[in-house]
Structure 1
Amino acid sequence: MREARADPRSFDSFAGDYDRYCDLHDPLGEWLGARLTELALGGARALDAGCGSGRHAQFLADSYREVVAADLSPALVETARLRRSHARVRYEARDLHDIADDDGFDLVISIATLHHVPDLGKALRHLRSLVRPGGTAILVDNVSGRPTPPRWAYLTGAAYELPRDILRLGARDAWWLYRFRTSRPWLAHLLSDRYLTRTGFERRYREVFPEARFTDLDFAHAMIWHHPAVRRDRS
Structure 2
Amino acid sequence: MLKTNRKNLNKYVAFDTFATEYDFAATLQNKNDFFLKNLSSSKGAALDMGCGSGILASELAKYYDRVVGIDISEKMLEIARHKRAAPNIEYIQMDVGCLEFDRQFDLIVSASTFHHLNHLPTTLQSIKKLLKPQGKAVFLDNVSEVETPNPMVYIAGASREFASDCSKYGFRNASRLFKFRTSPSWLKHLASDRYLPEGRFKKIYGRYFPGCYFVKLDCFMGVIWENL
TM-score normalised over the length of structure 2:
0.93
Give the match for residue 233 of structure 1. Answer: none
Match for residue 185 of structure 2? Answer: 185
Closer/same/farther in 2, CA of residues 180 and 55 from structure 1, 3 Å limit: same
In structure 1, the gaps of 5 or more residues are: 229-235
- Alpha-carbon distance between aligned partners in 1 of 2:22 and 2:74, rounded to the nearest angstrom: 14
Is the 8 Å Cα contact of residues 112 and 142 (structure 1) preserved in structure 2? Answer: yes
Letter in structure 1 aligned against 2:18:
F
In the aligned structure 2, how far is the partner of 1:140 from the partner of 1:114?
9
Quote how far apart the aligned CAs of 1:129 are: 1.1
Secondary structure in 2 matching 1:128: helix
Q: Deviations over 1:45-92 (max 9, x none)?
A: 000011010000000001100001000111111110011111110000
2:135 maps to 135
Residue 82 of structure 1 is matched in structure 2 by 82
Cα distance change of structure 1 residues 72 and 46 upon mapping to structure 2, 3 Å threshold: same
Aligned counterpart for 1:25 among listed residues 14, 26, 29: 29
Q: Residue type of the partner of 2:16?
A: D
C-alpha distance in 1, partners of 2:10/2:144? 15
Superposition pairs of residues 119-134 of structure 1, within 5 angstroms:
119-134=119-134
Map 1:214-229 to 2 at 5 A.
214-228=214-228
Give the corresponding residue for 1:14.
18
- 8 Å contact from structure 2 (residues 42, 135) kept in 1: no
Q: 1 CA distance for matches of 2:19 and 2:41? A: 30
TM-aligned CA distance change 1:92 to 1:11, over 3 Å = same
Summarize deviations over 1:89-121 as a string: whole Å, max 9, x none.
Answer: 000011124433333000000110001111010
TM-score by length of 1: 0.90
1:5 deviates by: 10
CA distance in 2, matches of 1:42, 1:148: 38
Q: Percent identity?
A: 36
Q: 1:184 to 1:209 in 2, by over 3 A?
A: same
Contact 2:47-2:108 within 8 A present in 1 as well: yes
Indicate conservation of the 8 Å contact 2:115/2:194, yes or no: yes
* Cα distance in 1 between the residues matched to 2:217 and 2:124: 20
- Counterpart Cα distance in 2 of 1:188 and 1:5: 15
Asked if the contact 1:6/1:189 (under 8 Å) is kept, the reply is: no
| Equivalent position amino acid for 1:7 in 2 | K
Task: Give the CA deviation at 1:159.
Answer: 0.5
CA–CA distance in structure 2, aligned partners of residues 4 and 99 of structure 1: 13
Structure 2 counterpart SS, 1:211? coil
Give distance in 2, aligned partners of 1:29 and 1:94: 22
Q: Tell me how many residue pairs correspond in the alignment.
A: 222
Question: Which consecutive unaligned segments of at least 5 residues does structure 2 have?
Answer: 1-6
**Aligned residues of 1:52 and 1:80 also touching (Cα < 8 A):** yes
Secondary structure, aligned partner of 1:121: helix
Residues 214 and 222, structure 2, Cα contact 8 Å, conserved in 1: yes
After superposition, the CA RMSD in angstroms is 1.7
1:33, CA displacement in angstroms?
2.5
Q: Secondary structure at the match of 1:43?
A: coil
Code of the aligned partner of 1:226: E
Contact 1:48 1:69 in 2 (8 A): yes
Equivalent positions of 1:125-204 (< 5 A) are 125-204=125-204
Q: 2: CA distance between counterparts of 1:5 and 1:54?
A: 19
